[in-house]
Structure 1
Amino acid sequence: MRPRDLALAVAVAAIWGFNFVAIHAGLDHFPPLMFNALRFGLAAFPALFFVGRPQVPWRWIIAVALVLGVTKFSLLFAGMNAGMPAGLSSLVLQSQAVFTMLFAVLFLRERPRRLQIAGLTVAVVGVLLVATRMGANLPAFLLVIGAAVAWGLSNVATRKASPPDSLRFMVWVSALATGPLIVLTLLFDGPSADLAALRTINTEALLSLLYIALVSTLAGFAGWGFLMQRYGAATVAPFSMLVPFFGIASAAVVLGEPIYPVDIAGGVLVVGGVLLGLVRARPVASRPLARVGA
């Protein structure tokens, strides 16, 4: 990987890691569902009018919009709003790799390799270790686990869609997620709470919204899609394991969240397990027949 592309991969991981601090700041002002609706609405408009028509069937855009945009991020925002720490949320979400593999087996008929099974087993142990510390706030933890389940399902749907342009795909996903989220926030957050949040919006809330909509969603996915097209998933995917490190570090620095030894141990197991699952065994080369000049 070229140095500038390497820097881009690390930068995207840093952007996505700091995203959890921005979410935390936004949830101090906006109701969770409203914050999610505003995030995807801002990511979709006006970009929708410049990216062109979608390049994949509508059914996959709708599926990813409902599973990723509506379900995954609503559960994540709800979990963090219920007390799940920002840094720890960035770590627990990496359990999506476990659910991605399970759904790929069920729906894509993929056969996991032994290293994948071993690695993801290690990752599960890491998540369970983190769960022991969140016992006092298990509902918040389970909401973030639910977000990881939804993310795994959306990964399978995205794989089936195989969008040639990640940015364009994400803009259309954001557009189709916005409508259902507006309905949900009116039903569950309530019009009065939504109006109050809009009337009293402050600089911190606005900056957090702009960050997660424009920087994390649009710029982040654009950079990630560019790297995936140039180098392929096997090379680029491991860089996502830097996200929880940036997430935990930024939450500690900006929000003052403490880092406990159990978090470090769980993080090492989760990240190490997922990375182990990415390792591919080298094929054993058969000894060739005698070749002249070899």
Structure 2
Amino acid sequence: MSLTPGELQVVTEGEAISIDAQDHGEKAIAGRSLWAIAWRRLRKDKVAMTAGIVIVVIVLIAIFADQIGALYGQSYLTQHNTGTTSLLDSLTSMPKGPLGGVSAQHWLGVTPVLGQDILTLLMQGARTSLIIGALATLLSLIFGVTLGLVAGYYRGWADIVISRIMDVLLSFPTLLLSISLITVIALISSSSILRASVIIFVLGFFGWPYIGRIVRGQVLSLREKEFVDAAKSLGATNSWIMFREIAPNLIGPILVYTTLTIPNNMLGEAGLSFLGVGVQPPTPSWGQMLSDAGNYYQIDPMYLFLPGLAIFISVMAFNLFGDGLRDALDPRRTN
């Protein structure tokens, strides 16, 4: 833009940037938010993105397991062990045919003794594992984030009491406690829902100290920042500062914790089911399938391999995505 001699033109800073960009034929550079930067980093991580796609597929399979089973033409409740439609050997009760009875109707074969379709069992087992893993993680977040905020913000006696509670809970043997509680519950009721509720409670309640410590450490640093002092000077209450000013800055660590804890809780459920104190039939579970397959692994190794592979893929996908998300949210990265 040119000015004639003797003329003086006053422009604002924004207009100056626009004029400069027009003069050079360039577009003005727009700033990026922290989330936009993290998303750009995450997209560059091919391993994390692939793991994220696998997680989405597993979640969709778990949600629409009934519909997929209907299209597939099989149900996990149907048993092919009697009559002319039996798919099992009458002498050994093992699946007929190679690879555990793989056929055009049963893509992954059928189970020994009962002759249930393995593919539909795996899909329904994914639903069980994800529900228990997600709800247990949610329970951990509710306790951990709330108490971690209180301990880190108020400090003093509140911090001492909550920190000692976390130390006590971390010293409990969660697996042994789960087995004890579920065994007692089994004497009272055989409900699978009640068993699942106990598993969710034990995994979630005894897991919250981990995220509680992370949140407490972050809050101890954030409470000294200038934006907290500004909120106090404007008359904001403590609850407003904790949940409206500090809590939004904890979303990154909470997301990373969530992606890394869900697979741990899924493994916990699978371990309890494998030991025979978890979810019981007819509710499918990957750990329950592993426990049952252990009796036939020499004769029908595919029955043992398939649920183990499902657990491996799910846990690996969550862990890889969690690692990628942690790297993308790292403020120390420059690219």
Q: Which has the greater radius of gyration?
A: 2
As a proportion of its length, which structure holds more helix? 1
Asked if TM exceeds 0.5, the reply is: no
TM score, norm. by length of structure 1? 0.31
Larger RCO (CA under 8 A, 6+ residues apart): 1
